[in-house]
Structure 1
Amino acid sequence: MNLKKVDFFYFLGIGGMGMSSLARYFHSIGKTVYGHDKNRTLLTNKLEEEGIYINYHDCIEILPKWVLSKKCLIVYTPAIPNNHKQWIYLKKYGKNIKKRSQVLSFITENAICIAIGGTHGKTTTCTLLGHILYNAGISFTSLLGGISENYQSNIILNGNKIFLVEADEFDHSFLYLSPNIACITSFEQDHVDIYPNKKILKKAYIAFLKRIKKPYKKIFLCKEESLPLIKNAIYYSVIQKANYYSNHISIKRNKWYFDFHTPTDTWKFLPLPIPGIHNLKNITAALAISDYLKINKEKIRKSLFLFKGIKRRYSIHYQSKNKIYIDDYAHHPTEINALIQTVRKCFPNKKILGVFQPHLFSRTKFFEESFARSLEKLDILILLDIYPAREFYMDGIINSNNLLKKIKMSSKNKEISNLSQVLEKIEKKHFDIIITIGAGDIDSLIIPIKKWLYKRYG
């Protein structure tokens, strides 16, 4: 599809992280961008401040007149429910309708494309790599799956020679991309409604890796993951020697440092801007690709020192002598394990209260035992109701009570809450560290918890 002939864009589900980055991109190149979302959020407010019009009511009367013209592209996310009135109307009468993943393929097909895939770590790897490219003065645009703290956006605009994007496996989205350089950070089941077993998931990843094209035609793989050996792949690791690897981790005054090894050199005592072995793995991937692209070593080192991280990825919102508050997007047992392990490493012998919001009924049911084992590593747990996201409400069939029963923790240290009552419960707990965990709307607690902590502890 020739996007140059499109003047108008209408995004159904514009408040999603992937959709909003695309909306911002088209707005930045002078296109007229409108969108719909069911809820007003901090992100949609920001989009409106930037000049993007958004409606929040599911009715066709408020659609712009140009939405049915040939010069309009309607972009939708698979999360839009089938009974959505605007979606039913636009499917029937719209001239150009494409999935977000298809549109992403259109904007990257005529440029060098670097795609970061994997179950965990895509956003951290992609955001740091984008930060390095920006500081190196490379002509590129990056579309991110999170909000960069450095750029306060999920898009980094610095030219169009390279497009740096996340290759999302959900709904087989990454199979629309044909990148020149691909990286797989991790390989594990997550979207179980799409990939009910690991064999189907592996088949999709292999299909994605077969889409890599010249120039470059390079694949970066984490050596510890269970993908099959790929001929001519470039491997990286934080456990064993590889083409690129990191080791000699040290912690001084709660700051992490490491050594990074290239095929020809060793870079000593680099700062790890986000703590945790899982984050070191992601940062090793970003450094490996940067070195392969021959970016100046000192510019890479400087970028590490200047990197502020990503919102909702080990974000410390409050820290005093008595209390610490961390918020994290972790929504998979592996991610929760890594998060708690990192907090324990950074703040030993502290009592941790975790507030966890399960995301998706299918994921919660599939990983029920694994979630239980990971959440047991907390000292105190407040478990929220399941956030259904794109799924239909299934309480009574699958719910948080079922999960709570499987968690081997004293009944006085674990309980269920809904989102509206959780702050009241937090205020009664005795803890040193509080972590809010999850990918739903649990981020709406950040400001209330911060306000309470500042009011009570200064």
Structure 2
Amino acid sequence: MLQLKDIKSVYFIGIGGIGMSALARFFKYEGKEVAGYDRTQTDLTHKLEVEGISIHYTDDVDLISSTFKQQLSCLVVYTPAVPKDHTELNFFRDNGFTVKKRAEVLGLLTQGMDGICVAGTHGKTTISSMTAHLLKQSKVGCNAFLGGITNNYKTNFLHDVKSPYVVLEADEFDRSFLHLKPHFALVSAMDADHLDIYGDAEQVYAAFNEFVSLIGAGGALLHKVGLPINEPDEEVEIFTYSLDEEGDFYPTNLHLKNGLYQFDLQSPFGKISNVTLGIPGLVNVENAVGAMGLALLSGVEEDEIREALPKFSGIKRRFEYHVREEGMVYIDDYAHHPEEINATVKSVRAIYPEKELTVVFQPHLFTRTQDFAEGFAKALDKCDQIFLLDIYPARELPIEGVNSEMILKLMESEKVKVVKKEALLDELLKVKPELVLSLGAGDIDKLVPSLAEGLKDSISN
């Protein structure tokens, strides 16, 4: 088995994934030779190439440089989303290379560090990024492997050789988070999801409770009030947080000022008064409460938090404004589960209660659409006008009878329509929207620039 100290090169299969790219950046930072394969070219893969990482986009062993064919010194990292018949992956397996999942490598790299692991079926990218920002802007500092590109740092990887802490997004997909060893852990939500992996909600709960059981002695668990969590080892401290219920950490005196929320944080360490959240959205107040809790547990001081939080400018595709003018507002968000849609819509309504809300939703995965069609329908029925795009398949093959029309048929709204990507802007402009929200975890992000431009032009015309 290849030891970390003996690694000279690292080859990534699925290097364009947000978690994979953070690992690739780490190994590049450490002076290793890094290259990889991905199915499609994206802004992220382009940036990796600019940073000196060679990437190709055809599954072909002949395209792999000889540097990465040295069995005794090359580590191969893959994402579980890669199909089992992938030619390159099987080449490395058949020839005795050390081949590991991303989560396994992350677990190995962070041994000997104090892991601040953020888990949850939604909210984890924002909370982990906020937490990393609060630590980074304090004397405590941190390393971080994040599930999104932060607007503050323009990356998903932070490095600080002086800090003992590493902030990690603990992903429940494929039970990846069970490879981690948390010192502090946060659980934001335990909704049924990834049922193609887990089967039912009970198995989702069981996996999260197994994750919680991995917290080391002397560590702490912070979880949202009301989650079905089994108390871990008695040597682990337990705290709760909430937006609107009294947990150990919760906001009071919450109010909007110029579109942003201000509040006081109540905590076991005392009250932090007059905190301003630098990004919009009620859902992000709850995320901030969790992040502030982790920061306080890590030793970040009250004044450091008060100064840093307003400067957090968000993550790409998390409640991200693209048009913000008097006659038009356009927000894009990664929400792809019914509960995430509910939270995002509630946040938008709180800021713009008088505006009609037009939503564009691209369902992500056939299995998720099949499992949660009714939930999607109920969540989208809370909007005024809805456009559904075709399902983004990602790693899946089609399932007979599962399509976006499945959601439409369950909805009560009469203002809902399934449209093709190429017709979307024209359909949007026909309804003369004043508040647009695009949602989904597929490739809908590629439409965002043209939608924003078209919506801006509609104002001027």
Q: Distance in 2 between matches of 1:54 and 1:137?
A: 37
State how far apart, in whole Å, the 2-side matches of 1:319 and 1:219 are.
Answer: 38
Unaligned runs of 5+ residues in structure 2 are none
**In the alignment, residue 328 of structure 1 is paired with which amino acid?**
D
Structure 1 residue 166 corresponds to structure 2 residue 172: no
2:247 and 2:434 map into 1 onto residues whose CA distance is 39
The corresponding residue for 2:138 is 136
1:205 to 196, 204, 208: 208
Supply the distance in 1 between the matched residues of 2:149 and 2:382 (Cα, whole angstroms). 28
8 Å contact kept, 1:67–1:94: no
* Match runs of 1:248-327 below 5 Å: 248-327=253-332
CA–CA separation in structure 2 for the residues paired with 1:335 and 1:125: 14
Provide the residue aligned with 1:191 in structure 2. 194
Question: 341, 362, 365: which is aligned to 2:367?
Answer: 362
Provide the residue aligned with 1:41 in structure 2. 42
Q: Tell me: CA distance 1:421–1:85, structure 2 relative to 1, closer, same or farther (3 Å).
A: farther
- State the AA in 2 paired with 1:255: L
2:425 match = 423
Question: Structure 2 CA distance, aligned partners of 1:180 and 1:293?
Answer: 10
What amino acid is aligned across from residue 397 of structure 2 in structure 1? F
Structure 1 unaligned blocks of 5 or more: none
Q: Which amino acid aligns with 2:355?
A: K
Query: Partner of 2:221 in structure 1?
Result: 219
**1:97 corresponds to which residue?**
99
> Which of 67, 85, 88 lines up with 1:86 in the alignment?
88
Q: Are 2:173 and 1:175 aligned?
A: no
Q: Are 2:81 and 2:395, in contact at CA under 8 Å, matched by a contact in 1?
A: yes
How far, CA to CA, are the matches of 1:224 and 1:25 in structure 2?
A: 36
In the TM superposition, residue 420 of structure 1 has moved relative to its aligned partner by 2.8
Which SS does the other structure have where 2:25 is aligned?
helix
Q: 1:91 to 1:425 in 2, by over 3 A?
A: farther
Once residues 58 and 449 of structure 1 are traced to their aligned partners in structure 2, the CA distance between those partners, rounded to angstroms, is: 33
Describe how 1:24-39 pairs up with structure 2 within 5 A: 24-39=25-40
How far did residue 117 of structure 1 move?
0.6
Tell me how far 1:239 sits from its aligned partner: 2.4
Query: Are residues 1:399 and 2:403 paired?
Result: yes
How well do the aligned residues superpose, as a CA RMSD in angstroms? 1.5
What fraction of aligned residue pairs are identical, expressed as a percent? 36
Q: CA deviation at 1:454?
A: 3.0
* Deviation readout 1:410-442 (Å, 9 max, x if unpaired): 1xx211122233223223222111111000000
Distance 1:276 1:117 in 2: 20
* Per-residue deviation, residues 140-187 of structure 1 (Å, max 9, x unmatched): 210111110101111122225221101111101011111111111111
What amino acid sits opposite 1:199 in the alignment?
Answer: E
Equivalent residue, structure 2, for 1:452: 454
Matched residue SS, 1:367: helix
Moved more, 228-237 or 59-68: 228-237
Quickly say closer, same or farther: Cα 1:226–1:239, change in 2 above 3 A. farther
Is the 1:74–1:94 contact (alpha carbons within 8 Å) kept by the matching residues of 2?
no
Contact 1:357 1:383 in 2 (8 A): yes
Amino acid at match of 1:286: A
Deviation at residue 313 of structure 1 after TM alignment: 0.7
